[in-house]
Amino acid sequence: MKITAEPLALDTEIVEMLYSNNRRSLLAAVVVMVALVFIQYDLIPIKVLAVWSSVFLMAYGARAYITIQYYRDHQREQHVQQWLNRFRVNSGLCGAAWGLAGILLFPEANTSHQAFLIFALVGVAGAGVIVYSVDTICSNLFAGGLLALMIPRFLFDGSQLSIALAILFIVYVVYVTIAGRSLASSLRENITLRIASNLDNKKVHQLAYYDFLTNLPNRRLLADRLNQAFVRCARSQSYGAVLSLDLNNFKCLNDSKGHLAGDELLQQVAQRLQNTLRKKDTIARAGGDEFIAVLDDLGRDKAQAVHAAQLAAEKLMGAFSQPFQLKNCKYRTMPSIGICMFYGDESNEAEVLRRADIAMYQAKKSENLNSVQLYDEALHPAIELRATLESDLAFALQANQFSLYYQLQVDQAQRPIGAEVLLRWQHPTLGMVPPNQFIPIAEESGMIVSIGNWVLMQACLQLKAWQSMPWGSSLKLSVNVSALQFSQPDFVETVINTVQTSKCDPHHLRLELTESLIVKNIDDVIDKINMLKKIGITFSLDDFGIGQSSLSVLKRLPLDELKIDKSFISDILHNNSDTFIVQTIINMGKNLGHNVIAEGVELKQQKHLLQKLGCNAYQGFLFCRPLPLQEFEAKLTHIHSA
Ligand code: C2E
Ligand code: MG
Ligand code: MG
């Protein structure tokens, strides 16, 4: 396997090695130089000795100078090449200084002193080549400088001994250079290995503790930092805070502009948040569009600490005052922030994070969007319930926890004409959860689409089963369709497939829409309704009267039925304006050619009044409560046989 390290990191290590060896090699060089001068003192003129010593001191003085400068340069890692070049040039100079010794300190007729000189230079050359071997150019320059000056002098001397010494010297230097090379290559390999494993460790650490997209600490590191903050706060007996920050409408950006735009926004948000907080505070990405800030050391006084945390939250809010410049557009967004205070060691990390989340969630729900909310014990139960429902809903469909109830619809003579399918969730610990509690959650998370499709399929299968019953052949079945479900591009296709798969008669299927749906893209709504009407499906407008649809829009909708909202029925006996509204709805429905049904009819008097006002269909506890399948079938069998 080929191991690679970043070239720059390798050069840095090599240069560091060269300079760090300098102190010892400087000392050794000076010792050899003094010994040489001392031994050759009697044979070489003092002037010549002085010249050589000066050259030597200049070369090694320069070495000492650049070494000092190197260690003074705190950004030397960024100037690696310059420091390497300086060292190389100096190596050549130092080699030449030793080579000059071969010329100037050569004792003409004294073979034993010649031998001493060559002995000293052999030692210097060998040591130099080995010490500089991590950088081949360096060791070549040193050896080259030395040989280039010294060898000619020995060769020109003409004596057999000095020629033999020169040749031996060359052989020796070549041999040491080759040995030095292989030493250098294994040294480089070692350095490379070390750097590569350091890089790997760094990478593993980065992946384990930092968010890939934003480079902020992830949940794991957050937990660690939070626990450290607990310890610090316990020690200093001061308060800290966790701020949970969630972007408003982030899903919209992702859906409308794509995930790349979403990622870009998250990166910019991370950057701004980081720039806003103090260096010692932690800002982490907890996942999705949720960020967590940990502030500690907010003081010993709780009120002041809360104030400081709120100020920090406002500062974070301030980071969103300018729009974000994404690749293809400018984008404005604001967060909601929840704060949970903590005090030292007894705090539980998961609990503190959960409370900050609850407060953030409360901030999101508040009328004043972009708000900051401090965790309040009193909010706990309701929000906790919602959080439980939200997480459990994700598994409810798979776990078969949904069932359908059926509520009868009758005509003026109280004969069965249809039924509405009403969804029920049997929660394993909470028992029956009413749809008004879980359907809004399913709508927010988008789960309503798959849940709604499941309801539709069950309803169609039921319709098919009832077609063979004596009472079932004329019964219409109404199914509630959520706005999100209806707006799916493949809604029409899904309904047609469901009808075909279940083999039910689409003329008996009625889809209940709400007014919230028709405020959006009315043409698309009309097209979809028409396509489904073609196969015989009929449409009802549910909870009619509480929305804001205008008459002109209503006129264009190819509906079959208006369903008067139960809030008008409940007060119809005592509230004249409700009576007036109901009368108007009935007249309007009739004028548009629609059937009108009243829901929530609980009292006989209500039914009588509605009948007088011209209503011809009813649904309500007065006739039948929503019932599970078997009870509903038993009831209809009973009515039929009566
Ligand atoms: P909705 O479609 O308006 O359904 C009528 C609601 O009124 C039902 O509440 C029903 O039980 C209740 N109700 C019927 N008669 C009376 C009465 O005489 N008095 C009173 N006080 N209430 C009566 P439920 O079953 O709790 O459903 C509530 C809402 O949940 C439904 O209102 C509908 O909007 C939604 N929902 C139920 N099932 C589904 C479903 O399968 N899909 C979708 N998207 N929404 C559903
Ligand atoms: Mg309904
Ligand atoms: Mg309704």
pLDDT tens for residues 134-154? Answer: 888 888 888 888 888 878 877
Nearest-CA residue for atom 23 of ligand 1: 600
pLDDT band (50, 70, 90) for residue 305: very high
Nearest-CA residue for atom 11 of ligand 1: 626
Nearest-CA residue for atom 37 of ligand 1: 422
CA distance 461 to 456: 9
% of residues, the chain, pLDDT over 90: 47
Identify the residue with better confidence: 202 or 640: 640
Q: What is the pTM of this model?
A: 0.53
Nearest-CA residue for atom 25 of ligand 1: 422
Amino acid 257: pLDDT:
80
Q: What distance in angstroms lies between residue 542's CA and the mean position of ligand 1's atoms?
A: 10
pLDDT tens string 315-335? 999 999 999 998 888 888 999
pLDDT tens string 214-254? 999 998 899 889 999 998 888 888 999 999 999 988 877 87
Amino acid 83: pLDDT:
92
Q: Is the pLDDT of residue 155 over 80?
A: no
Amino acid 609: pLDDT:
96
Nearest-CA residue for atom 33 of ligand 1: 480
Q: What distance in angstroms lies between residue 422's CA and the mean position of ligand 1's atoms?
A: 6
pLDDT tens string 378-399? 666 766 787 888 889 989 999 9
What is the DSSP-derived secondary structure letter of residue 481?
-
Q: Which ligand is nearest to the CA of 482?
A: 1
User: What residue ranges line ligand 1, CB within 6 angstroms?
Assistant: 407, 421-423, 434-436, 439, 452, 455, 480, 482, 512, 542-543, 566, 599-602, 619-621, 626
Query: Which residue has tokens 């506890």?
Result: 621
pLDDT mean over 274-300: 91
What is the DSSP-derived secondary structure letter of residue 615?
-
Amino acid 80: pLDDT:
87
% of residues, the chain, pLDDT over 70: 94
Q: If 0-12 CB within 10 Å is exposed, 13-18 middle and 19+ buried, where does residue 259 land?
A: exposed
pLDDT band (50, 70, 90) for residue 170: confident
Pick from 404, 406, 422 the residue to mutate for probing ligand 1's pocket: most ligand atoms within 8 Å of its CB.
Answer: 422
CA distance 246 to 290: 4
Query: Which residue has tokens 């003129």?
Result: 45
CA distance 630 to 370: 49
Measured in degrees and rounded to the nearest 5, phi and psi for residue 113 equal: -75, -35
Give the tokens for residue 37: 């001068």
Give the tokens for residue 271: 């950057």
**8 Å CB contact between 269 and 317:** no
Q: Is the pLDDT of residue 1 over 60?
A: no
Q: What distance in angstroms lies between residue 504's CA and the mean position of ligand 2's atoms?
A: 20
pLDDT mean over 299-317: 93
Q: What distance in angstroms lies between residue 568's CA and the mean position of ligand 1's atoms?
A: 15
Q: What distance in angstroms lies between residue 559's CA and the mean position of ligand 1's atoms?
A: 20
pLDDT mean over 91-104: 89
pLDDT tens string 27-63? 888 898 898 888 888 888 889 889 999 999 999 999 9
Helices (H), 210-249: 219-236
Which of 64-68, 93-97, 194-198 comes out lowest in average pLDDT?
A: 194-198
- Of 386, 379, 462, which is closest to residue 628 (Cα–Cα)? 462
Q: In one letter, which amino acid is 40?
A: Q
Ramachandran quadrant class, 237 (left: phi over 0; alpha: psi -120 to 50; beta: rest): left
pLDDT mean over 529-545: 95
Q: Is the pLDDT of residue 10 over 80?
A: no
Q: What distance in angstroms lies between residue 423's CA and the mean position of ligand 1's atoms?
A: 8
Amino acid 458: pLDDT:
97
DSSP for 410-457, please give it: EETT--EEEEEEEEEEEETTTEEEPHHHHHHHHHHHTTHHHHHHHHHH
Q: In one letter, which amino acid is 38?
A: F
pLDDT mean over 157-181: 79
Q: What distance in angstroms lies between residue 465's CA and the mean position of ligand 3's atoms?
A: 25
Q: What share of the chain is helix, strand, coil (3-state, %, to 5)?
A: 60, 15, 25
Q: Which ligand is nearest to the CA of 601?
A: 1
Nearest-CA residue for atom 13 of ligand 1: 600
